[in-house]
Every structure is written in structure tokens, then in C-alpha cells.
């Protein structure tokens, strides 16, 4: 009992909250570019979620229709990597770098008719304690909702189905089934 009592202050000294300093430094972020093809820049705001700082929220305001599409808790991330709008497609890239598994995830978002949809989804997960012949084991999954095809580790996998409306994206539940096998 004395040993536990002596260890308690030592353990308390090492106890600290787990923070996401990279996310806090990177956000909020604003990206501009023409998604809807009207020649006027659209506005994308990426910020940390008000109730869970590890989660990322996205709001896209389209200039042509003057409407805003919001997604709460799009993904958990420690860092928002360089993101851009190119040829009517928004590319958002996120990473998580603590713990054994370190995922990076990319979303490619664009219009399908009048709806903003996730066109493509890519994730790579590095397992920091497993090795393969090239070093750290990295598993990948790519899903192209428009072409309705997916690959896991560069091998064909179950098709992901049609594009998902960005406003309907619900974290892990919206990740294509083939890609869920990586988590």
C-alpha cells in the first residue's frame, strides 16, 4: 500500500490530457476555388468540432446557389494537410499521427447535379509496429464512387456503391465497406 501511495504523485506528474496540437494550429482553414463552375470562388471552411476537438467539421458555401452544405464530424484528425479546389473538385486531406495506427485520408468532393457528393475516398494506414519487406506495413484502400469500384492494397474489392451526398456523410458508417476492413 505504501508503494502505491508513493507512486501516485509520480504517476500524477506524468498524467496530462491528450491534445491534438496540430489540429488546433491548422484550424480554422478557409479554401476558395470554383466548385460549381460559375466562375466565382466558392468558400470551404474546415474547423474543429465545437464539442470534440479531434473531429473536423466542414462547411461549403456555393456561390451560384448561395447555399451552404455543412458536415459535422466528417473525420477525426490531428492535422489538415494541404487541400485545394481544382477543376471543380475539392480535395480534403487529413492525417492522424499518434498511436500504433496512423491513417491518412483523402476526400474528393464535387457536384453531381445540384448535390455535393463524395466522388472518391482514399485512406492509407501505417501500422508502426508491423513490418513488411519495404519497412513499415502500410495498407491502402481507394474507392471511386463515380466509377463504382474499389481497391484494397491495389487489389480489386467490393464496389462502394453510388456517390454519397456530403451532407449525409457519417464518419465510419459512410466509409466504404471494403475500406472498413483496414480499421
Minimum mean pLDDT among 24-28, 65-69, 128-132, 140-144: which range? 24-28
Q: How many CA atoms lie within 13 A of 7 on its CB side?
A: 4
The secondary element (H helix, E strand) that includes residue 108 is strand 101-112
CA distance 95 to 76: 9
Q: How far apart are CA 130 and CA 102, in angstroms?
A: 12
| Helix (H) / strand (E) containing 6 | helix 2-14
> Distance between CA atoms of 144 and 140, rounded to whole angstroms?
13
Q: Tell me the three cell numbers of residue 20.
A: 491534438
Q: Residue 8: pLDDT band by 50, 70, 90 thresholds?
A: very low
Instruction: Please list, in sequence order, all residues whose beta carbon lies within 8 angstroms of the beta carbon of residue 56, skipping any fewer than 6 positions away.
Output: 23, 27, 46, 47, 48, 49, 73, 74, 75, 76, 77, 80, 94
* 103: β partners: 125
Question: 153-180, pLDDT tens digit by residue?
Answer: 999 999 999 999 999 999 889 999 999 9
- Give domain limits for the chain: 19-180
Amino acid at each position: 500500500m505504501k508503494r502505491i501511495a508513493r507512486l501516485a504523485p509520480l504517476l500524477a506528474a506524468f498524467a496530462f490530457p491528450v491534445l491534438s496540437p496540430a489540429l488546433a494550429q491548422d484550424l480554422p482553414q478557409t479554401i476558395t476555388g470554383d466548385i460549381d463552375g460559375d466562375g466565382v470562388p466558392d468558400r470551404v471552411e474546415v474547423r474543429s468540432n465545437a464539442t470534440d476537438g479531434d473531429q473536423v467539421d466542414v462547411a461549403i458555401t456555393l456561390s451560384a446557389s448561395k447555399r451552404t452544405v455543412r458536415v459535422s464530424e466528417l473525420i477525426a484528425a490531428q492535422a489538415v494537410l494541404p487541400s485545394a479546389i481544382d477543376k471543380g473538385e475539392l480535395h480534403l486531406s487529413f492525417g492522424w499521427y499518434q498511436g500504433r495506427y496512423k491513417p491518412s485520408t483523402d476526400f474528393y468532393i464535387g457536384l453531381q447535379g445540384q448535390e455535393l457528393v463524395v466522388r472518391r475516398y482514399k485512406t492509407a494506414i501505417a501500422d508502426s509496429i508491423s513490418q513488411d519487406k519495404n519497412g513499415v506495413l502500410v495498407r491502402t484502400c481507394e474507392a471511386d464512387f463515380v466509377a463504382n469500384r474499389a481497391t484494397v492494397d491495389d487489389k480489386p474489392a467490393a464496389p462502394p456503391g453510388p456517390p454519397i451526398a456530403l451532407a449525409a456523410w457519417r464518419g465510419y458508417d459512410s466509409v466504404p465497406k471494403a475500406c472498413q476492413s483496414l480499421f
